[in-house]
Structure 1
């Protein structure tokens, strides 16, 4: 049987669960002990608990936005090697990470050869936008066009288009890797058109603008698409050596030196064969 003295605690915990204050529930006894030891009054005690609840609630919201974004991997700009792509405007990327372009419904286009880190930068900007409180969706161009085609065939196109239009930041990766059918190109154009000045879009492409007609198959459609995408745009030039090929070559070089018993330039250690 519950003792009379325990009833307030039982009721408090019940009310905290009903009010959906899990951090308050988990921390109130610990914070009470700390507050008593520090001589903190009741208002400051409650303030500490409220702050902990808000911090944890924001963390959960960010996690939820990250899951909803469907990132293939979670990458931040902190891990991007800017030194490997000297052509990239680092200051512009860091400015974009503040996500103010999302508020202004501006676009970002990252252009450069395969392997130069375009997807990494797009993921980093997407993660930053999630942390700033914006809804984000990541997709490859091929996957997006396939979804649009399937939705059209299943008479769900309007619903999918509405979902894509409602996202604050849409990231369309790998534009230009696969030519699109006329129907696919028109459906993709419609997505960009519906987002024009209503939401932000990041596009990564291995092709310069003058070669986009080869993907869309129509000069008219390409012109109309670029007109919308580039009206309010930040362009990231990412021309340079493939990041992946460079690292693969460095690994082979280190392995060859280790086999030969030479010192590793990074560690100074000598590995005997």
Structure 2
């Protein structure tokens, strides 16, 4: 039996079946105990391999997603009156809008939860099997600037081209040079028909022309972003300021 198991291990390694051999002993014991037939035993091994590959693929997607810490929305407080109701959050987390290639714009001042919501939706998408990526506007700009010269950025660019969901955090936070504004428009123009885009911004769309220094590009960009889009305006006090921490003791001296 040991020689047979050794050969099974070697064949699993050869065919890269990493989910079968680790559970082989348990599967054999269950088969002997339950008098499992050959078909049922084979099915159990194949299910183990399928589960292994599913976990491995999810781990890869999580690694490339680029999510910030604390992205999970399970603990998000929807009782706060900031424009994101429990009903809206539930509908967003169903992710039907990704299949319909709808965009989401999360707009509001700093600290009201835009990035938390966007990254949480990205995490939900990764877990649901989508190719989803969280990037800051600066990340996107760096990729567009260097993709033709830096192999890793070229890989990143091609990865984004095949995405189901792209989150762009803090869009239009800073002005863009004309060359980069054109490159960014071309990027959006290439992906918007095949991928959903979630953006967070503290700038109203009417202010984009000023950040791009080009009303024509801003209009064309908004035309593509807002064609199939849900705009959610968030409000309220900054969570970070309300929960500001200090390294001094709370003493009056």
Both proteins in one fold, TM over 0.5: yes
Unaligned runs of 5+ in 2: none
Distance 1:74 1:62 in 2: 18
The equivalent of 2:74 in structure 1 is 78
Distance in 1 (CA, whole Å) between partners of 2:156 and 2:32 is 55
Report the 3-state secondary structure (helix = DSSP H, G, I; strand = E; otherwise coil) of the residue aligned with 2:194: coil
Residue in 1 aligned with 2:235? 239
The alpha-carbon deviation at position 178 of structure 1 amounts to 1.3
Aligned partner of 1:16 in structure 2 is 12
**Alpha-carbon offset, residue 241 of structure 1:** 1.2
Pairwise CA distance, 1:161: 5.2
Matched, 1:87 2:99: no
Write the mapping of 1:1-273 to structure 2, written as runs, cut at 5 A.
6-73=2-69, 75-151=71-147, 154=149, 162-248=158-244, 256=250
Structure 1 or 2: more helix by fraction: 1
Q: Give the conservation status (yes or no) of the 8 Å contact 1:70–1:138.
A: yes
Alpha carbons 2:79, 2:86 under 8 Å: kept = no
Where does structure 1 lack aligned partners over 5 or more consecutive residues? 261-273
Change (3 A) 1:85 1:20: farther
- d(CA) in 2 for partners of 1:215 and 1:131? 35
Separation in 1 of the partners of 2:222 and 2:236?
24
Deviations 1:216-267 (A, max 9, x none): 122222111111001011222211111111222xx67xx74xx69xxxxxxx
Q: Which secondary structure state, in structure 2, belongs to the residue aligned with residue 175 of structure 1?
A: coil
Contact 1:87 1:238 in 2 (8 A): yes
CA distance in 1, matches of 2:76, 2:210: 31
Q: CA RMSD in A?
A: 2.5
Distance 1:151 1:56 in 2: 34
| Distance in 1 between residues matched to 2:154 and 2:36, nearest whole Å | 57
8 A contact 2:110–2:238 mirrored in 1 = yes
The separation in 1 between residues aligned to 2:127 and 2:150, in whole angstroms, is: 35
The 1:85/1:60 distance shift into structure 2, 3 A limit, reads farther
- TM-score, length basis structure 2: 0.87
Counterpart of 2:198 in 1: which secondary structure?
strand
> How much does 1:117 deviate?
1.2
Distance 1:85 1:163 in 2: 37
Which entry has the higher C-alpha Rg, 1 or 2? 1
Using the alignment, how far apart are the partners of 2:154 and 2:8 within structure 1? Answer: 47
Q: Equivalent residue of 2:184, what SS? A: helix
